[in-house]
């Protein structure tokens, strides 16, 4: 069975190919995306590549580079411009993360997690009051993070008081975090 037929049956979309192509083209980047790609490539080559190995070896966080990326608008790529973001699509985010990760995988991951699981989530689901207070400051250089917890986790996933410890991204550096908690009960038998 072809991917198109499988996708069409699964999601019951009459013409998946045309639906995707209307959103963005996977074959050709727009002029704006090409400019973003070049900006990220230049930044990665000059700011990240020279220090990437040292960051990994010393387990250091690229705080100075994160601040510069905020000034470039890379910490709110998909956030609406109403709240300080660039208002771009997910393909633009993927292009930016790809270029950053070519030079420093850890920094690419930080930008991806921040854009998808913190500012992106607030932009899509937050109230106007939450967006003003918790989103706007995080599009220009302050990082947010997310935490994940599930019931019945192993002891090493939690600190001694039972709080979330090891499943937090960027936990030493953000001002705020969003926590995802799975609260389903299930029968282990």
The CATH number linked to 64 is 1.10.540.10
Query: CA of 60: how far to CAs of 33, 65, 96, 140, in Å?
Result: 30, 12, 22, 21
Q: What is the model's pTM?
A: 0.71
Residue 90 lies in a domain: yes
Residue 166 lies in a domain: no
pLDDT in tens, 155-183: 444 444 444 444 444 445 545 556 655 55
Q: Report the alpha-carbon distance of residue 20 to residue 28 in Å, rounded.
A: 13
Residue 125 lies in a domain: yes
| Arithmetic mean of pLDDT over the chain | 77
**Interval 69-77 mean pLDDT:** 95
- Of the listed ranges 50-54, 99-103, 181-185, the one predicted with least confidence: 181-185
Q: Any idea what the Cα angle at residue 149 is, between residues 144 and 154, rounded to 5°?
A: 135
Q: Report the alpha-carbon distance of residue 184 to residue 135 in Å, rounded.
A: 29
Per-residue pLDDT at 140 exceeds 90: no
Per-residue pLDDT at 87 exceeds 80: yes
Per-residue pLDDT at 82 exceeds 50: yes
Q: Report the alpha-carbon distance of residue 135 to residue 146 in Å, rounded.
A: 14
Residue 152 lies in a domain: no
Residue 57 lies in a domain: yes
* Percentage of the chain modeled with pLDDT above 70: 63
Residue 8 lies in a domain: yes
Confidence band, pLDDT 50/70/90 cuts, at residue 151: low
> Is pLDDT larger for residue 160 or for residue 113?
113
Per-residue pLDDT at 49 exceeds 50: yes
Residue 30 lies in a domain: yes
Q: Report the alpha-carbon distance of residue 30 to residue 55 in Å, rounded.
A: 33
Res 43: pLDDT = 98
- Of 47, 158, 165, nearest to 111 by C-alpha is 47
Cβ proximity of 118 and 178 under 8 Å: yes
- For 22, residues 6+ apart whose C-beta sits below 8 A from its C-beta are none
Confidence band, pLDDT 50/70/90 cuts, at residue 19: very low
Residue 161 lies in a domain: no
- DSSP per-residue letters across 105-139: HHHHHHHHHIIIIIIHHHHHH--HHHIIIIIGGGG
Q: Which domain holds residue 101?
A: 3-141
Res 184: pLDDT = 53
Count of structural domains, the chain: 1
Res 154: pLDDT = 52
């Amino acid at each position: 069975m072809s991917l198109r037929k499988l996708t069409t049956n699964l999601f019951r979309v009459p013409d998946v190919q045309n639906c995707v192509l209307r959103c963005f083209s996977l074959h050709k980047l727009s002029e704006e995306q090409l400019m973003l790609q070049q900006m990220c490539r230049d930044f990665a080559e000059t700011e990240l590549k020279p220090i990437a190995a040292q960051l990994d070896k010393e387990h250091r966080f690229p705080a100075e580079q994160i601040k510069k990326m905020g000034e470039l608008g890379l910490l709110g790529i998909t956030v609406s411009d109403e709240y300080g973001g660039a208002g771009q699509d997910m393909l633009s985010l993927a292009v930016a993360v790809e270029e950053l990760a070519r030079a420093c995988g850890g920094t690419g991951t930080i930008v991806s997690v921040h854009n998808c699981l913190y500012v992106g989530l607030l932009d899509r689901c937050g109230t106007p009051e939450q967006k003003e207070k918790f989103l706007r400051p995080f599009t220009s250089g302050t990082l947010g993070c997310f935490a994940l917890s599930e019931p019945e986790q192993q002891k090493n996933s939690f600190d001694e008081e039972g709080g979330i410890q090891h499943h937090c991204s960027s936990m030493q550096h953000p001002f705020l975090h969003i926590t995802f908690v799975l609260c389903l009960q299930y029968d282990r038998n």
